[in-house]
Amino acid sequence: MDQYVDFSQPSLYIAAGAVVFNPTFWNTVARLEYRNKTLTKLAGGNALYGCYGLAATIFSLGIIRDAFYERALRDQPSHPALESFLSQSLAVVLVACGNILVLTSMWALGVTGTYLGDYFGILMDEIVTGFPFNVTGSPMYYGSTMSFLGTALWYGKPAGVLLTALVFTVYQIALSFEDPFTAEIYAKRDREQKAKGRKGQ
Ligand SMILES: *[C@@H]1O[C@H](CO)[C@@H](O)[C@H](O)[C@H]1NC(C)=O
């Protein structure tokens, strides 16, 4: 096993910790906001500024995690099977497609749509269904996972593939929390709008 993944490297566990920490952090904080308006209060009562603050924090945490990931890969052995032309080509395709999914979904959703604005009561007028959302329901998560895998292959590191499996698992768990919660926020708005409509008649 040692020839694939060097489990004695602390950097491996630091990267794994960052991978687990990030979605845990933003889900915890977003729910605090939803229940107690914690971030809105911190932003002086302005939900939009609160959301921008969370966006900047999540974005920065992502950069730090990516740095830990690359650092961890540097400390790991490469494997010849992952250094073939095929593997290198796949790496380029994965990183390119992954970045396209992430960037186009940010473009489609805007800052507040991307960074959990719905927990702040900042809702989209309607659910975005065009590209990249007609390819996958969670382009941000799948795009990010593809970039992790592409990076692992690019450097030819089995440990990167292992960390990518962790990223995938953590995102699946995050989605299992986020998707029903977001759906309920929008369902609640629809119920309230209908109730308002009836009163207005
Ligand atoms: C997604 O939508 C884009 C345009 O918005 C279109 O070009 C593309 O073919 C669609 N893809 C799928 C898989 O439906």
Dihedral of the CA atoms 175, 62, 87, 93 (nearest 10)?
Answer: 80
Q: CB count, 10 Å around CB of 129?
A: 8
Query: Does 19 fall in a domain?
Result: yes
Q: What is the tally of structural domains in the chain?
A: 1
Query: Does 5 fall in a domain?
Result: no
CB-ligand 1 contact for 135 (6 Å cutoff): yes
Query: Does 187 fall in a domain?
Result: yes
Query: Does 196 fall in a domain?
Result: yes
* Among candidate residues 123, 115, 125, the one with its CA nearest the CA of residue 51: 115
Q: Report helix, strand or coil for 123.
A: coil
Query: Does 95 fall in a domain?
Result: yes
Note the pLDDT of residue 196: 80
End-to-end CA distance of the chain: 70
Q: Which residues of the chain have pLDDT under 50?
A: none
Domain span at 43: 10-200
Query: Does 176 fall in a domain?
Result: yes
Atom of ligand 1 nearest to the CA of 132: 1
What is the residue with the minimal CA distance to atom 2 of ligand 1?
131
Query: Does 117 fall in a domain?
Result: yes
Query: Does 2 fall in a domain?
Result: no
Note the pLDDT of residue 175: 95
Record the pTM: 0.91
Q: How far is the CA of 138 from the centre of ligand 1 (A)?
A: 15
**Helix, strand, coil distribution of the chain in percent, nearest 5:** 80, 0, 20
What is the residue with the minimal CA distance to atom 7 of ligand 1?
131
Note the pLDDT of residue 127: 82
